[in-house]
Amino acid sequence: MKKIGNFLKTSVRKTDLFPQKVSLTFKGKESFQTLYGGIISLIILTILISYSARIFAIMFQKQQTQKTLNRVIKDIQNNPPEYELNRNNFAFAFVLQDLTTGRRGYDPSYFNISIVQNTVNFDQNTGERTSQIEDRSFSTCGDNFPYVDESFQKTKNLAKNILQCVDNQNFTVKGSAFSDSRKFVSIRVERCVNGTSVVCKSPAQIKNKIQNSSFIVAFISQYFDFEDYNNPSKTVFETGHSVYLNLNFHKTKTYTIQKAEVNDVNHYFQFGQSEQSEFFMLGEQKSDFKENQSGDSELLTITLNQDSQVFTYERTIFSFLDAISQIGGVFGMLLQLGFILTSFFNQKYFLTSLFAFLYTSNGQEFETDLNKNERIYPKEKGANKKDINCNPNDTVLNLKLSKSLHDDRDFALSKNQQDKDRTNVGLNAIKSNFKNLRRTCFTTSEYLKILLPFCSSRAKRKFDLHSDQFSRECDVVELIHSIRTLKLMVRTVLKEHQRMLMGFSTKGQQNEHLEMFSLEFNSIPRNNDEPSKEFKGKVEDCVQKCGQVNTTELENDSKRFC
């Protein structure tokens, strides 16, 4: 169990993300890993792995997808683009329904329906407006109605047998009512008028039919499904647009065709690639009516115009780079938190762990012989090194002991003593080095010294300034004392006639001494700090006293000096 515990401690210590830097290289490493740091590192790694698993689950399940829908207003009056409706599978179909019987169909003996592609151009120079009308034929849709999904079987049967489709669906819408160039589509419903190719019912029958009929328009439009990542552009069949007909009123209904642009980024590894597409859909609806005069045959007019609004669908899934960035941010935050937690044990635990690792060794196992009452170590039971030599026939093994038991024991004891000696020699040096070892963070007092430098060192700087000035003044006094001692020594060594000559020249040299001391005093560096007048006066008095010493005092001083 002890070995297992040591193995677990070593394994946990190796996971330490906050190793302590040391001045010396420790087993080829420049840092020392502790058990406490390893435990915190394991907690951090556990949290990081759990968070990473959650982030990658979100990425693969596409839960944090960015979805935006923007609307842009474009100028369709001065520079209008053309919308070719058939290019993006936009189409429409229609049918008349009898409200009394519920039957749907088209009977030309009651109604006259026309589908027209209108083109209007306006000349700014001449002020003339020209119109071009292109009639489009229509018939029962049948199999030429491929835009509806196969799953809508009921709608498909309705389209095949009842709905009326335009044979040529290449319609174009462009501009507004005030544009120089405008294109739009119109659907007109009129009561039947006798002609060369059509024989109408009686006016009473036509009136009765119109009063009980409604005109239904079915649009094949598209929309973008944010939740579908395989086929987001969906086709919808809208059949809820119906208008009740009335013989006395001319009803008008206007639909706008809006353009939608799609920017779909559906890739886990995103490097700027995206899938772009566009489609058309129904926009705003406006209805109006006016009263018919006698002889008017118009019942309903439906117009398809261009819409100035353009919608932009943008979808971006949660990519691998987004996941890595979030994981990296969380790891950095946890790492800083780990540094804060380990900083509370920066010295005590680190030094304790380091010294325990360096100076703790496992004792050698031994057995006790009860008969001899002495310890028997495992090495004494046999030799450690063995040489195995084989004879030519490989049948007999010759075992030779490399050393005797006595030599092994003496060698082990001497080696152990050498290790102890080396340990004792460097123990004090190592202790002093590691006592001064600090972690990279500051203590509270160091933070206060950094934040309040003037408050913490103001008194010390003031003391240093005055102590330097005092030292300079003491140097001058010491210089004067040294010169006076030198004079005493010179007078003692001189002969009698030399001392007499020196006595006569003392007064003459007094002024020279004063000038010399003044020059020496002024030549001393003062760091731009001038001494006080009181101090200069003391120095001059001291020099004068040194120059006025009589012969008796000098002889007595010389005797005392000798």
- Return the H-helix or E-strand segment holding 46: helix 35-61
* Domain-embedded: residue 7: yes
> Quick count: other Cβ atoms within 10 Å of Cβ 309?
15
Same domain? 465 vs 552:
yes
Length of the chain: 562
- Whether 46 and 95 share a structural domain: no
On whether both 9 and 146 belong to a single domain, the answer is: no
The verdict on 412 and 474 lying in the same domain is no
**Which domain range does residue 428 map to?**
377-441
**Are 164 and 264 found together in one domain?**
yes
* Secondary structure class of 542 (helix, strand, coil): helix
| Inside any domain, residue 446 | no
The span from the CA of 259 to the CA of 334, in Å, is: 48
Residue 179 is assigned to a structural domain of this protein: yes
The number of domains in the chain is 4
Look at residue 368 and tell me if it is in a domain: no
- Same domain for 324 and 284: no
Instruction: Kindly state whether residues 59 and 126 are assigned to the same domain.
Output: no
Residues 6+ apart with CB under 8 A from 77: 175, 176, 178, 179
Alpha carbon distances (Å) from 294 to 137, 206, 247, 299:
29, 15, 10, 13
One domain, residues 156 and 289: yes
3-state SS record for 200-263: CCCHHHHHHHHHCEEEEEEEEEEEECCCCCCCCEEEEEEEEEEEECCCCEEEEEEEEEEEEEEE
Return the pLDDT at 47. Answer: 92
- In contact, 102 and 192? CB cutoff 8 Å: no
Tell me the sheet residues that pair with 251: 289, 300
Tell me, yes or no, whether 81 and 198 share the same domain: yes
Residue 370 lies in a domain: no
pLDDT, averaged per 10 consecutive residues of the chain (562 residues), comes to 75 72 56 75 90 90 85 80 81 84 81 89 82 87 61 59 82 85 89 77 86 86 84 79 86 89 86 82 85 81 89 88 90 86 68 63 54 54 43 42 54 69 59 49 58 56 64 59 58 58 51 47 46 53 49 43 36
pLDDT of residue 550: 44
Instruction: Choose among 174, 182, 169, 170: nearest CA to 83.
Output: 174
In a domain, 533, yes or no: yes
Co-location of 431 and 502 in the same domain:
no
What is the reported pTM? 0.52
Structure tokens at 557: 């001083």
Q: Are residues 324 and 342 in the same domain?
A: yes
Residue 361 lies in a domain: no
One domain for residues 112 and 132:
yes
Among 317, 343, 364, identify where a domain stops.
317
Q: Is residue 110 part of a domain?
A: yes
